[in-house]
Amino acid sequence: MQRVTTIAVLLALAGTPLHAQPTKPADGTPAQPETRPAATPEAKPAPVQSPDAIAALQATSEAVKDGFSAQVSAYAEGSLAASFSRSEGLWVQNALGEPGQWKVRYTGGGTVALKNDTLDFDALWSHDRVAWLDHANKTYSVEPLKGGRGGETFQLFNGAFAQLEPLSRGFADELANADLEMREPAEIEGIPCNVVAITSRKGSDPVLWFLSREDHLPRRCEIVLPGQDLIKSLRVDLTQVNAGAAGLSEASWELKAPADYAQKISRQFQERIERPAGPTGRVPAPNAGAAPDWEVADSEGALISPGALRGKVSVLYFWGTWSPACKKALPVLQAFAEDYKDKPVELVSLAFREGSPDAVVRAAREEGQTWRQVPAADEVVKTLGIRVAPSFVVLGPQGELLLRSGRPKGEDYEALFSEIREITDRTLAQPEPAADGKKSAEGPGSKGPGEHIAPAAVTPAGRGGMPTRRKGG
């Protein structure tokens, strides 16, 4: 990520010809090789560090010592910026501690240079390795932390990590060895920030860290390339920042691949890694019958399940604040919600791979999602085998699965929702089944077509006519 200045260094032994041989004394005795004192290694100069810069980095290290999460966006600035890779996603790091406890997870998506298709990724770094899921190629890889790797997906997410890695270590190496300079203060999105320039080695471009004066949390990390017009800088912006362990769970540090993903594990880790378990349930093909059972709470605490959604067509939108592809689907979703708001159709957003539930709901409202929100749907995602964001599931009035789709080819959400609208309209036009009050001949445990196991103790007494679990049931 840093510009490298190449310098040709020529060394010569002063006063000694390159191939000179020792001269033979006049008396004929053998010449003795010249003895020279051993060279003393040149002492490494002490880093030049501003006291104010040290204090600013130490304050940030203290602020993130119990954990940190943020939405990040990594991109280039300049006339050729559009042709460079760009990634967005959720960055989570655990509490600062011993080197063996160090972990970072970055989940998101983005586009690689000169290509428009979005690639999703999920990467987990620890003290000796990096593991990642490449959903486009259906691979699960584990490699040493230091080492050469290729592939578009790896390059996509590793750019942000290369810049933000010092934050995950509390700037320990930089405080000990790097030159630190305090620059003029700046504002990032209206937030006053101290600006610290870190130069890790001579001849490299300094990395600028924009640290909030109020909470000391980072808002931007930037490498400025002086004299460059095509690419002026490499940036990582941080928003929705959260310090501490709130919202971080054990699941934040588990990276499991679906059973059908190929494994590419470096030999040194093969004996220590067990094959990740696959999803707990497989969704039938569209129109094949009932959907797997699941249950989850929405942002207001009401329970949602296929049984609770009966009596209407339900469109489930699986998304993440970390996924740039979801932003492309949003206008089509908003149009669908508006067109069907007076019909027995419900649109539900289910977020996964997130941190703070409150931050998820806030982000959803800010971008115009006016419908029902589930901020933590990771268990539902596992049950249904959802792999990418956005993904869509359509359920019929009896809980039957009408459609399941991942990201459409070419990210053509208009075409996908044209199909969803057609399915919705056709389903709404069908007559409702007779309400004779009789149970299915196969009983409540039937899994036949059009049937679904409703959760126990559910009654239609919840908010807005939505069923909730009966207390004491």
- For residue 270, which phi and psi values (nearest 5 degrees)? -60, -40
Give domain limits for the chain.
51-252, 296-430+449-469
146-202 per-position pLDDT tens digit:
765 667 888 888 889 999 999 988 898 899 889 999 999 999 999 999 999 999 877
Give the pLDDT band of residue 3 (cuts 50, 70, 90).
very low
Which pair of tokens denotes residue 63?
């602020």
User: Which residues are bridge partners to 349 per DSSP?
Assistant: 317, 373
Which range, of 26-35, 77-86, 204-213, averages the lowest pLDDT?
Answer: 26-35
Query: What are the strands of the beta sheet with 391-395, ordered from one edge?
Result: 372-374, 345-351, 313-319, 391-395, 401-405
Q: Which 8-state DSSP code applies to residue 290?
A: B
319-340 per-position pLDDT tens digit:
988 888 888 899 999 999 999 9
Instruction: Give CA–CA dist 382/278, Å, rounded.
Output: 8
pLDDT at 447: 33
Instruction: Give CA–CA dist 71/324, Å, rounded.
Output: 11
pLDDT at 464: 33
437, with CB counted inside 10 A (0-12, 13-18, 19+), is exposed
> Does the pLDDT of residue 381 top 70, yes or no?
yes
Residues sharing a CB contact under 8 Å with residue 29, sequence separation 6 or more, in sequence order: none
> Does the pLDDT of residue 72 top 90, yes or no?
yes
Model pTM? 0.59
Residue 247, classed as helix, strand or coil, is coil
> Does the pLDDT of residue 459 top 50, yes or no?
no
> Does the pLDDT of residue 342 top 90, yes or no?
yes
Q: Report the sign of the C-alpha dihedral through residues 316, 320, 325, 331, in that order.
A: positive
Instruction: Give CA–CA dist 253/265, Å, rounded.
Output: 18
Mean pLDDT (the chain) is 77
User: Which residue pairs, CB below 8 angstroms and at least 24 apart, start in 189-194?
Assistant: 189/219, 189/239, 191/219, 193/219, 193/220, 194/52, 194/56
The CATH class given to the 296-430+449-469 domain equals alpha beta
Q: Give percent above pLDDT 70 in the chain.
A: 73
Task: Write out 183-220 in H/E/C secondary structure.
Answer: EEEEEECCEEEEEEEEECCCCCCCEEEEEECCCCCEEE
Within 200-302, strands assigned E span 207-212, 218-224, 233-243, 262-265, 296-297
Beta strands 262-265; 139-144: pairing state: parallel
Which range, of 70-74, 255-259, 399-403, 469-473, averages the lowest pLDDT?
Answer: 469-473
CATH 2.50.20.10 fits 51-252, yes or no: yes
Give the pLDDT band of residue 16 (cuts 50, 70, 90).
very low
Give the pLDDT band of residue 129 (cuts 50, 70, 90).
confident
